Amino acid sequence: MKLIDFIKPLSEEDYRELQAFNYSILKLLADNGPKSLVEKEEISGTFLEFGTLVDILLTNPEARYNVFYTKPITKPTGNLLELTEALYIDHIMLDKTYEDLVTSEVILEKSKSLGLWSTFKDNTILDKVNVPIFYDYLKAKIESKGKIISSPELIEAAEHCANVLKTHNYTKDLFIESDDIEILTQSTLLYNFKGYLGKAKLDLIRIDHKNKIIYPYDIKTGSELPTNFENSFYHFKYYLQAVSYMYALAYLRDQNKELEEYKIDSFKFIYISKKLPDCPVIYNVDEKLLSVFFEGWTNSKGEYVKGFKDLVNEYIYYKSNEIYNAEKKVLENNGILNITLS
């Protein structure tokens, strides 16, 4: 018996399209309120791309070229840039191939429609366009469609981090499978909470079938020093991720009689810093803390921090009532809230 036999396989596209709450949705709800449930926020950035690349190199290296475009791209300027961008739009809108777009007829027609080099003869226009940077940039734009464009430097740094995690004494054993140890990566789990569907994608699950223990992990990268990862843990609300992943695993176990004897070990984050990329650290989330993160708590500043349960209840409230322009607490108090001593 393998744990993977109890997990329904989902493609990346199907997982993203599935109407269910997850860590990202709950974090956005906590940060931006109910409007985030209808106004999708595109989250991007170098650090996010770096972390995604490290994850892929560790858990599904053959997919890196499907997600990332790693060839160097030099962007032209002036009229050449305007021309290539316009031709690229034709590729998108009219399904034109690269070969369709680089004929002399198409280049001249597009240049004239854009008013580029309007005082030049056709041969002169073609001479100006007939340079490697034009053809290389247009081809790269088409090849990289739908992918994250990443610099060679970022690729090199991510490869280093992935290699460290696979070889360092602190973490290398986590990625080794054996007769008794099953390793699952990028596992998509679905679960039910109060009649609403939740979803989770775990970077790494180790299953010790001999001792019947499931070990869940999430892999994080960042700019904080290893001993300062807790700053990111609370800033990015990773506690919601830990709770949702543990809840999803418990739900999977409890729904399958064959797994009822398996214990789920405490959740752990594997963290590697870009500042000190040669020494990863494993952060353990204590079971008692996990309960606090589920329920919510009052921090050292006297501020109440919503837990997983609070935010899922809010998600259910907004979804079931189709209200996205006002907060639950404001509506429940008829628009009147009290100032309290801080």
Residue 183 has pLDDT above 70, yes or no: yes
Check residues 283 and 50 and name the one with the higher pLDDT: 283
The rounded distance, in Å, linking the Cα atoms of 208 and 206 is 7
308-318 as b/e: b if 16+ CB within 10 A: bbbbbbbbbeb
Q: What is the pTM of this model?
A: 0.78
Residue 301 has pLDDT above 90, yes or no: no
Mean pLDDT over 1-24 rounds to 91
Question: Domain residues of the chain, as ranges?
Answer: 9-43+168-332, 78-143
Give the pairing of strands 304-305 and 297-298.
antiparallel
323-342 as b/e: b if 16+ CB within 10 A: eeeeebeeeeeeeeeeeeee
Q: What is the architecture, at CATH level 2, of domain 9-43+168-332? A: Alpha-Beta Complex (3.90)
* pLDDT averaged over every residue in the chain: 91
Closest CA to 47 of 220, 269, 200, 166: 220
Query: What pLDDT is stored for residue 48 in this prediction?
Result: 62
